[in-house]
Structure 1
Amino acid sequence: MERQPTDSLKIMFFLISLLFTAGSSENDLFLDFCGTWRHGKGSLSLNIDISTGCDGISISASESSLSIHGKITAQCRRSDVIPLNQFGLDSVEDSPFCLFWEPLLDQLKLQVGEHSLILCWPGSLLDTCCTDLSHGSNTAKAKYGIMNGMVRNDVITAKIQTAYNFGGRSTKCKALCDQVSLESTYSDKLEDTVTRMKSIEHPCAYRAEVEMKEGFRGSNIISPTTTGESSEPTATVHLPPALKQVAKNNNKVVCTFFRNNSLFQEGYKEVKVLNDVVGINVENEIITDLSEPIRIGFHHDAVPKVQPRKCVSWDTRKDPLQVKWLVDGCKTQQRRATHTECLCNHMTYFAVLVQLEPRPVHHLLALTAITSLGCAVSFISCIALIIFLCRKRGRSKEQSIPIHLGLAVSLAFLNLLFFFTAVLANVEWESMCVWVGAVLHYALLSSFSWMGIEVFHTFWLVYVVFNPSPKPYIWNLVGFILPAVPVIILAAIGDIYGQRDVVPSDDIFNPYKMCWMKENDKAFLAHICTNMTILAILVPSGIVMLFLVYRQIRKRDEWKQNRVAFLSIWGLSCLFGTTWGLTFLDFGPVSDFIVFLFCILNSFQGFFLMLRFCMLDWIRKQAAGSTLGSTSTGSTRQHMLQERG
């Protein structure tokens, strides 16, 4: 389809205007100052003294403090002394830092090491902005101060200076905002010009004010519509009548709409802020516990069902320097894939967060309680089973006892470690979780190995009757030594074991921490090559062997006793590791049921094994003289229950 003549004219006039406008733009859109703070190893602090105006800003440093002073903001005022030892800076002499200033949002952020501190929260567009911060005269060289000072990656000087001074100049915010729109558009390809003309978004925050007069019955505020194909506003806010009763000293409500501000994503990798962030406040008042909630509707891109959404608010009271999203005080209503409504009973910044990876776990608290209880019971049961098998080993020559004993030992070790993994994950010793994760992986592989030995040994007893079974030291080599080989290799590769967060679906900001494999590509590949590969071999082999054993004993008289049949097959399924096969069924509408069943069966596995061995021993004693109670080690086909007991 050919372009219409009017489109060609639009392109021509648009490009001409871009050339003239972009060529005349001289304002700086931000300040990005970075350097390295050379300091002592004692007590360190950050001194802030920021106020409104446009005189400029000074960044200075000494042996014990980093200071930021100046008048550059439109509405932000801050005077604080903040301890920095909490960030671990006292253990080093050089700390890299960066100071970011965005005049359009009146936003000031300091990054020290790996920590970001919000000195001035983002605000709405006002009349004048302080921009064009030019570098002033250098100070004298010193032992402590700022070295390698840079502005937008351009090095000013590599020497250690005590301070850097920048002077500012006021300009119209609206003109600066228009400049951003034109420059971002001009940078696009020529063939996309018409498309861009139809979808340019104003980069500045939109501010709306509502006067709550007498008889206030609520009000609706709508964000500016985008100029793309859809004319639907990205966010809507409904202020309830109850707000008038709570706001005592001020009747003006300010609502600000922010789009694509990277600050709100600060510090979160597993979640994503969807499009708009809405700030609602009454000047100089803290509004909480509204009897009727504020309704905020967010219209966004379609979100898959597997990625849950949560309405959150930015907690600016407990720690105003950190970006911390909380679910407290907000309820989430997912209207459809592209619409989420938040009902909040307070005022601050609001947004919708989407959980990305890993997939959040439903009912994590209940699953954790079941697993912890199961591991504790299984550990105690395995210790009891070890004592039982050791005593039985002294008066019986059954070939299966050493193998049962090896499985009981490995399961006891696995359950003990898993029970304490959450406690050890919170120990403030970074290498602790690496070691615990590696040892836990070894315990899991060792348990799988002994289950595989159980399968192989049963096959040997059933179908290789006339040859002796391999010696016990061979089983110990395969069950205890061989699993250590892949763990040692993975530990040598590095960045595989460590702290892992299991994210609950009902509180994505309060993950369950454990020591295991990390969430990266190397750890995922290691999980597939070790755990999943072994299970892919173990589970089918166990199921086949379970079927073959069933065929051997189903016609025996004692098999007709229900409790014997149940304990035999149930115990064998635990011995052969078939219950771990549920991990392959965790999908679809029965996912939650499978997860609960998996936790119950495998966390209580040690208890079920102990129960099976003790019950079968009791039954044999009750049926002394019968085939089930015989101590003869003749044909394994005739004494399968005894041999597997």
Structure 2
Amino acid sequence: MLFNTSEKILESSLLSNPTELASYGNRVLKASEKLISTLVKPTDTNYSVSFTLAAVEGKVFMVGPNITLEKVSQLEMKNSSVDIDLIGIAKNNNETRSAAVAFMSYNTMENLLKPDFFNTSNDTVKTMMSTVISATLPKTTNTKLTKPVNFTFKHIREFNPSGSLFCVYWNISEWIVDGCSVLKTNSSYTVCSCDHLSTFALIMQTSHSPESTSQLDLLNLVCVIVGLVFFSLALLSFTYCRWSPRVNNVARINICISLLLAHLLFLLTQQFLSVIRPQQVLCAVISGLLHFLFLSGFVWMFIEAVMLFICVKNLSQISSRKREVLSSGILCVIGYLVALAVVGVSAGLVHEGYGSEHCWIKMDKAFIWSFLGPVCVILALNMILFICIVITLNSTLTKLNAEVSQMKQTKIMAFKTLAQFVVLGCPWILGFFTNGSKVLEILFLILNSQQGTFIFLIYCVLNNEVRQQYRKFFRCLCCAKEH
């Protein structure tokens, strides 16, 4: 009677204030949990009871000290099910050696606990893809879980392949994702894994303007492919062209290698995401590898900034004495070992932090800072070094080239400054300010996908020695065709 009365109140409710909706929803949840806990009765083996009403479905399963089952099967309802290690929880209750789980599925609770309470970007549409469910351990002394709990949600609305699915739980006033993740999904259902019990739901987030999103995806695809081409051309130039012994290209080569592999892997992953995402282990491995490749790319950008600063400070390329200190072997150890150490520690401490919806680092539990933290430090140092390089170089060129045409010098200086700004990764700072701004998002996408292009232009196209070698190569090629 009480459940059905709550349903009628829910249907006729004219509440519109978010605070009132959340408050009433919390009261309904608490009352429901108290009501269903009265169905828990002591048992020596196992016992279950279930009910189905218009407003809610409920099921209670109890186990006692003399249970003969090795595992409790899934507790199933019309649109959802739960898989919980209830026997393991009972064994941890040393005094009673018993436990009970109460599982409820609310058919219209989304009218109160709306998907809009999921506080993410405002430029998206949130859709409740499942019924709201609740799982508790009533009249159980030790409620600590022995294993994560898996919930299977049947989709109650049409599945949008371009949307992002989130397993969320209700935290008094909002839906949050902490401690929950998607194990696998298809067009019909989604399996969520959570490390605690609460009230759960499945929310899909989609863009307001699918046309704009598709255009942005196309621009991203084109920019990344162009960047990959120029990364490859730069690597070929560094490998096959003859360079002055005073020039140390080790940082530039490894920037190209790291970012080429990172962008290529990320591009392939996103193109085949529907195939990769259900394979949770593969998805986690890919996200860990991306973490390593992008981080190593940033470490190499920092090494390049330091070497460039030393070069400009000494008004020449690094001397042979310095090259012994900064040998290629030592630089490679620094460039890759730092990134490997960060990824290793991160994976060791929070191994479940890898394998998000897009096979990247998960945003919950602040694990994303295992990537953003080192990146912020490197970007800050690179910005400082870049400013010092520009000031020093400008002062030096003004003194040395007093008779050279200032207009020509200014144009070349301006272009090289912009290009070096991109090469050192400084435009990645835009990533912290792109929220809601399409212009900044497009600028961020273009600049950071074209690091290979600017490396090729500065160190290959604008290098006289390299240009001469290219001319000889093309002449030989033309001669070979004529013969």
TM-score by length of 1: 0.43
Q: 1:448 to 1:496 in 2, by over 3 A?
A: farther
Matched residue SS, 1:111: strand
Aligned to 1:98: 75
Unpaired segments of 5 or more residues in structure 1? 1-27, 35-57, 60-67, 77-92, 101-107, 115-145, 159-260, 267-272, 278-297, 329-353, 502-512, 623-645
The answer on whether the counterparts of 1:308 and 1:355 sit within 8 Å (CA) in structure 2 is no
Q: Which one of the candidate residues 388, 391, 398 is aligned to 1:544?
A: 388
Aligned to 1:366: 215
Aligned to 1:507: none
Matched residue SS, 1:400: coil
Aligned to 1:451: 301
- The CA deviation string for residues 540-560 of structure 1, in whole angstroms up to 9 with x for no partner, is 332432343344336743774
Figure out how many residues of one structure are paired with residues of the other and give that number.
Answer: 341
- Relative to total residues, which structure has the larger strand share, 1 or 2? 1
- The CA deviation string for residues 352-403 of structure 1, in whole angstroms up to 9 with x for no partner, is xx999999798543333333332222222212111111222x4522323233
Aligned CA RMSD, in angstroms, stands at 5.2
The 10-residue stretch of structure 1 (603-612 or 382-391) with the greater mean CA deviation from structure 2: 603-612
Matched residue SS, 2:154: coil
Segments ≥4 residues shifted beyond 6 Å: 31-34, 72-76, 313-316, 354-362
Aligned to 2:397: 553
Q: 1:357 to 1:602 in 2, by over 3 A?
A: farther
Matched residue SS, 2:379: helix
| Structure 1 Cα separation of the partners of residues 377 and 108 of structure 2 | 37
- Give 1:99 shift: 5.7
- Relative to total residues, which structure has the larger helix share, 1 or 2? 2
| Structure 2 Cα separation of the partners of residues 311 and 450 of structure 1 | 40
- The CA deviation string for residues 215-253 of structure 1, in whole angstroms up to 9 with x for no partner, is xxxxxxxxxxxxxxxxxxxxxxxxxxxxxxxxxxxxxxx
The answer on whether the counterparts of 1:496 and 1:517 sit within 8 Å (CA) in structure 2 is no
Aligned to 1:636: none
| Structure 2 Cα separation of the partners of residues 425 and 400 of structure 1 | 43
Aligned to 2:339: 483
| Structure 2 Cα separation of the partners of residues 147 and 305 of structure 1 | 37
Matched residue SS, 1:517: coil
User: Is the counterpart of residue 440 in structure 1 residue 440 in structure 2?
Assistant: no
Aligned to 1:254: none
User: Is the counterpart of residue 530 in structure 1 residue 374 in structure 2?
Assistant: yes
Q: 1:97 to 1:540 in 2, by over 3 A?
A: same
Aligned to 1:143: none
- Give 1:440 shift: 1.0
| Structure 1 Cα separation of the partners of residues 126 and 235 of structure 2 | 51
Q: 1:563 to 1:355 in 2, by over 3 A?
A: farther
| Structure 1 Cα separation of the partners of residues 121 and 349 of structure 2 | 33
| Structure 1 Cα separation of the partners of residues 254 and 123 of structure 2 | 43
Matched residue SS, 2:360: strand
Aligned to 1:594: 440
Aligned to 1:605: 451
Aligned to 1:379: 228
Aligned to 1:113: 83
Matched residue SS, 2:367: helix
Q: 1:374 to 1:75 in 2, by over 3 A?
A: closer
Q: 1:308 to 1:75 in 2, by over 3 A?
A: same
- The CA deviation string for residues 142-182 of structure 1, in whole angstroms up to 9 with x for no partner, is xxxx999x9xx9xx999xxxxxxxxxxxxxxxxxxxxxxxx
Aligned to 2:173: none
Aligned to 1:400: 248
The answer on whether the counterparts of 1:407 and 1:447 sit within 8 Å (CA) in structure 2 is yes
Aligned to 1:419: 267
Unpaired segments of 5 or more residues in structure 2? 1-33, 42-47, 56-69, 99-103, 132-152, 161-200, 469-483
User: Is the counterpart of residue 572 in structure 1 residue 404 in structure 2?
Assistant: no
Matched residue SS, 1:516: coil
Matched residue SS, 2:75: strand
The answer on whether the counterparts of 2:126 and 2:205 sit within 8 Å (CA) in structure 1 is no
Query: Between the two proteins, what is the percent identity of the paired residues?
Result: 18
Of structures 1 and 2, the one scoring higher in RCO (CA 8 A, sep 6+) is: 2
Matches within 5 A, 1:31-430: 94-98=71-75, 111-113=81-83, 263=106, 273=110, 275=112, 307=122, 310=125, 322-326=154-158, 363-392=212-241, 394-422=242-270, 423=272, 426-427=275-276, 428-430=278-280
| Structure 2 Cα separation of the partners of residues 522 and 304 of structure 1 | 16
- The CA deviation string for residues 59-112 of structure 1, in whole angstroms up to 9 with x for no partner, is 8xxxxxxxx9xxx76789xxxxxxxxxxxxxxxx84533367xxxxxxx66624
Q: Match of 2:368, as an amino acid?
A: F
Q: 1:452 to 1:264 in 2, by over 3 A?
A: farther
